[in-house]
Structure 1
Amino acid sequence: MKKIASLILVSVLGGIITLGSYKLFLEDETTNFLPENNVTQESFIPVNNSNRIYGTNADFTEAAEKTVHAVVHVKNVAVFKGPRNIWEYYQYGNSGGRALQGAGSGVIITPDGYIVTNNHVIEGASEIEVTLNNNETYKAEVIGSDPISDIALIKVDAEDLEYIPFGNSDNVKLGEWVLAVGNPFNLKSTVTAGIISAKARDLNARDNSPQSFIQTDAAINPGNSGGALVNINGELIGINTAISSPSGSYIGYAFAVPSNNARKIVEDIMEYGDVQQGILGIRGGSITPAAIQELELSESQGVFVSDVTPGSGAAKAGIREKDIIKKIDNIRITKFSDLTGYINSKRPGDKVLVKIVRDGEEKELNVELTKLETYSIAAIGLEVANVTEEELKALNAPNGVKINRTLAENLPSADLVGGIISEINNQKVNSIRDVREVIQERRTSDPIVITYYDHNGEKQRMAWR
């Protein structure tokens, strides 16, 4: 599966790059993972509901002091046996060693050592090393991760650590002062200041992207990945993830995963082991000048509903094709990333109040979010669903998703339905979220090649051009 960094490598001001600081060198010592610690959502994640402070004469010292000791340096180490190239052979012979393949930042969110960082910072690590601001070093284990949102949860065996409480990212305002705390260029405990430049920013060229970022002009550079974006009260409002720069260094644009989204993902990992995605059950897009003219719309902002999934919460609540979504709960919806950003902070079963415009009249509908259980690959006419371990074992498949049904009449339904797709375009898929990521990142003109295990457990390939 592509690194999550590929989600944000789009042509914005010359390019989007991830912030992990990558270099390669060898170290001699070896370490072991800590044993897994099972937790549930009852192990609460601290949240700060204190009064907010605004003003032009803002004092950053208190917020900096509150947060700098709760942001750590994260090292991604790969352990290998034997030399992997000629340089390693001449340096170390046949003994192998440890290579630092990535470094970034992380945010302590509980006093007992839970740390949130970016998935791309820890992806592929054999060992993870965490260094606190006081130079204490711990070995960490990965509790879980979500490549689509680029969020990962790791844990160190420690107590009484300083931590940063979550703030409410829905309440951030344009122009609000913020601090970015991290380890750019391996410089420990760096704090920079800026403002909120934009909310619900989508870095993907496609309008149906699940991304929704906070944009800031606080100076963020390689190595800040996984660090904290905090408000002047020292509350965590974002996890720094990307910068927009042709050179790879700060030029005034940086992006963070909103804290409400990060917190929900972390709580899902703690309680369920993976992300529980709630959906409205609609397809649509932002209202653009072209859409206004083509569809003769009376509204200039919002999300235009092009399709409603049968049986979904949206369908049951009465949302229809051609409705325009203007607001969800207290969140104003002006574009598609406003909608996805807010819905991604919710779970299946949560209820939201959706304000729509239909034929010039406003309506409010209560919608219960449903779970993302299936995904339709419209380009090839297949619907896929998540698969159980038993279903994988039955077909000797190492990983994959189940072909749930065919959507095209010319496909051999009896042969395909029940099979397990393990790869799409040579990328491994383990869930329907993985499938969605691969399909959304694919250019429309590119072919689709699936590797699947048929009813006899035999590996097959099919291609659509």
Structure 2
Amino acid sequence: MRIATVFFAATLAVAALPAPGHAQAPLPNAPQSFAPLARQLLPAVVNISTSQNVQARAGRPDAPEVPQAPPGSPFEEFFRDFFNRNRPPGAPGAPQEPQRPRRTQSLGSGFIVDTAGIVVTNNHVIDGADEINVILHDNTSIRAELVGTDPRTDIAVLRIRTDHPLTAVQWGNSDEAAVGDWVMAIGNPFGLGGSVTAGIVSARGRDIRQGMYDDFIQTDAAINRGNSGGPLFNMRGEVVGINTAIYSPSGGSIGIGFSIPSNLARNIAAQLQDGGRVRRGWLGVNIQQVTDEIAESLRLPGGARGALIARAQEDGPAAKAGIRSGDVVLRFNGQEVREMRALPRIVADTRVGTEAPVVLWRDGREETVTVTVAELPAEQAQAQTPSAPRDQARPAEVAGLGLRVAPISNELRERFSLRAEQRGVVIVDVAADSPAAERDLRAGDVIVEVQQERVTTVQELQERIERLRRQNRPSALLLIENAQGQRFVPLRLGRPRQGP
């Protein structure tokens, strides 16, 4: 199965049949017909046609391909020789000539949000286009100007200039769109022109791994290729989403479509319209999910929640505010952080320069700090780590964990490609079927902290582990660093093996 681009189409949701002997519950909000709403909204939905010059891969885009034959068979060489002799000039294997570009076209959808000619669509609909044309409901075609794009959220804003009277739609509040609510999509599936489909909100807050700001509305309104960039409406005719992707094994609708929530899209579109670019809030932290085991290690009440700070970048807004590795962000600027991936969205939506209160879980209690939100840089600077201490001991076993560790030496630095400023205790061996192996710890990983306390020597590491055992703690929370970055690992405290 794959994620494909989308727009809107519709399939009517069917109410469940009542159980025998029971009256069917009335649906007071179920529309008798979508026709009045469709007539009102269709003029504001546009088709988008783009074209671009593409360098032909082999001079002739329609050059035949060599059939696949079993490797080593006599047919393999026969097919290759035959096709190379008969390929047109410019094709692979044939005499080469300068490759000429060819013109390609694609279709998508969009919608007018301002009668002055402002059109919103998906970035992937117009990405790389040399020419963009907006086709109105009455088939009037108008050359469009690109105002701005935001690839991170897949949103683009266009402007058209015309004396033609335009119809605009209003943004709605996507936070009010509840699972089970009726929704309607209008778009340009497969280039067929204005098509209306309907369904319900199937789910909220979907993460389809398209980016760090994923927060999609899932709908069963039919969405197909060419619907991308089109609007998802509530029953008041307000835009609650931008249809963007589908989940499909075939590329066609199977009733699983995804829309960007309007509350995210409206802010992005407004910034693009005003300045052509998006300014996002930035904290300067690396975060990870709080698991049940991590919550237990930190004695966090209420179970797994919040976002765990794995690293606060030096000179970043968080570090300047006193936020440090091991803190758990519970609330940011008045909004609850229920899970890790909510924090980047909340911070990004916060106006740059805002002094935001941040509620943290630290050292067994809640603390509040104030951070001044900065603008997300184009390229985030990497945090620097203090210089490593000199070698102080030989490799040693950490009893009960299945680890052999050593201080960072020049030899180990070269062996594991460690940074010159790397600090901590390096893992040199992991025993099979041990607590460390269960957590996928590997030789070359560096232990930076134990239970949010820095460790620089093997002795410090062993002392902290033994102290946790004396406290009858079931696990130790380690901060591990490797080439992929930093992460917290809750490690089960196995008992040291007794002698014979």
Given that 1:261 and 1:344 are in contact with CA atoms closer than 8 Å, whether structure 2 keeps it comes out as no
CA separation of 1:229 and 1:358: change in aligned 2, threshold 3 A: farther
- Give the aligned CA root-mean-square deviation in angstroms: 3.7
The partner residue of 2:197 within 192, 200, 220 is 192
CA separation of 1:344 and 1:198: change in aligned 2, threshold 3 A: farther
The partner residue of 1:178 within 183, 206, 221 is 183
Partner residue in 1 for 2:208: 203
CA separation of 1:324 and 1:217: change in aligned 2, threshold 3 A: farther
Shift in Å at residue 242 of structure 1?
A: 0.6
Q: Tell me how far apart the structure 2 counterparts of residues 97 and 375 of structure 1 sit (CA, whole Å).
A: 33
- Counterparts of residues 364-375 of structure 1 (less than 5 Å): 364-373=368-377, 375=379
The partner residue of 1:166 within 165, 171, 177 is 171
- Segments of 5+ residues of structure 2 without an aligned counterpart are 9-26, 64-87, 90-97, 386-417, 423-482, 485-500
Partner residue in 2 for 1:47: none
Question: Secondary structure of the equivalent of 2:246?
Answer: strand
Q: Tell me how far apart the structure 1 counterparts of residues 149 and 378 of structure 2 sit (CA, whole Å).
A: 21
Partner residue in 1 for 2:328: 324
Partner residue in 2 for 1:15: 2
Q: Percent same amino acid among aligned pairs?
A: 37
Given that 1:179 and 1:192 are in contact with CA atoms closer than 8 Å, whether structure 2 keeps it comes out as yes
Shift in Å at residue 200 of structure 1?
A: 2.9
Shift in Å at residue 377 of structure 1?
A: 7.2
Q: Tell me how far apart the structure 2 counterparts of residues 259 and 334 of structure 1 sit (CA, whole Å).
A: 21
Question: Secondary structure of the equivalent of 1:336?
Answer: coil
Partner residue in 2 for 1:70: 44
Query: 1:335 aligned to 2:339?
Result: yes
Letter of the structure 1 residue corresponding to residue 6 of structure 2: L
Q: Tell me how far apart the structure 2 counterparts of residues 166 and 337 of structure 1 sit (CA, whole Å).
A: 25
Partner residue in 1 for 2:309: 305
Partner residue in 1 for 2:60: 85
Shift in Å at residue 378 of structure 1?
A: 5.8
Q: Tell me how far apart the structure 2 counterparts of residues 253 and 81 of structure 1 sit (CA, whole Å).
A: 35
Shift in Å at residue 227 of structure 1?
A: 0.5
Question: Secondary structure of the equivalent of 1:78?
Answer: strand
CA separation of 1:358 and 1:247: change in aligned 2, threshold 3 A: same
Q: Which has the larger radius of gyration?
A: 2
CA separation of 1:209 and 1:153: change in aligned 2, threshold 3 A: same
CA separation of 1:334 and 1:217: change in aligned 2, threshold 3 A: farther
Shift in Å at residue 225 of structure 1?
A: 0.4
Partner residue in 2 for 1:119: 123
- Segments of 5+ residues of structure 1 without an aligned counterpart are 1-13, 22-53, 382-406, 412-443, 446-465
Given that 1:118 and 1:225 are in contact with CA atoms closer than 8 Å, whether structure 2 keeps it comes out as yes
Which of 168-177 and 101-110 deviates more?
168-177
- Counterparts of residues 407-422 of structure 1 (less than 5 Å): 408-409=419-420
Q: Tell me how far apart the structure 1 counterparts of residues 311 and 61 of structure 2 sit (CA, whole Å).
A: 56
Partner residue in 2 for 1:455: none
Partner residue in 1 for 2:105: 101
Partner residue in 2 for 1:437: none
Given that 1:200 and 1:338 are in contact with CA atoms closer than 8 Å, whether structure 2 keeps it comes out as no
CA separation of 1:20 and 1:165: change in aligned 2, threshold 3 A: closer
Partner residue in 2 for 1:391: none
Question: CA-to-partner distance for each residue in 1:378-426, whole Å, 9 max, x for gaps?
Answer: 6999xxxxxxxxxxxxxxxxxxxxxxxxx95489xxxxxxxxxxxxxxx
Q: Tell me how far apart the structure 1 counterparts of residues 368 and 212 of structure 2 sit (CA, whole Å).
A: 25
Question: CA-to-partner distance for each residue in 1:173-203, whole Å, 9 max, x for gaps?
Answer: 3333322221112222222223333333222
Shift in Å at residue 105 of structure 1?
A: 0.3
Q: Tell me how far apart the structure 2 counterparts of residues 194 and 329 of structure 1 sit (CA, whole Å).
A: 35
Given that 1:301 and 1:335 are in contact with CA atoms closer than 8 Å, whether structure 2 keeps it comes out as yes
Given that 2:215 and 2:260 are in contact with CA atoms closer than 8 Å, whether structure 1 keeps it comes out as yes
Given that 1:116 and 1:154 are in contact with CA atoms closer than 8 Å, whether structure 2 keeps it comes out as yes
CA separation of 1:170 and 1:20: change in aligned 2, threshold 3 A: closer
CA separation of 1:333 and 1:380: change in aligned 2, threshold 3 A: closer
**TM, length-normalised to structure 1:** 0.62
Which of 354-363 and 257-266 deviates more?
354-363
Partner residue in 2 for 1:228: 231
Shift in Å at residue 75 of structure 1?
A: 0.9
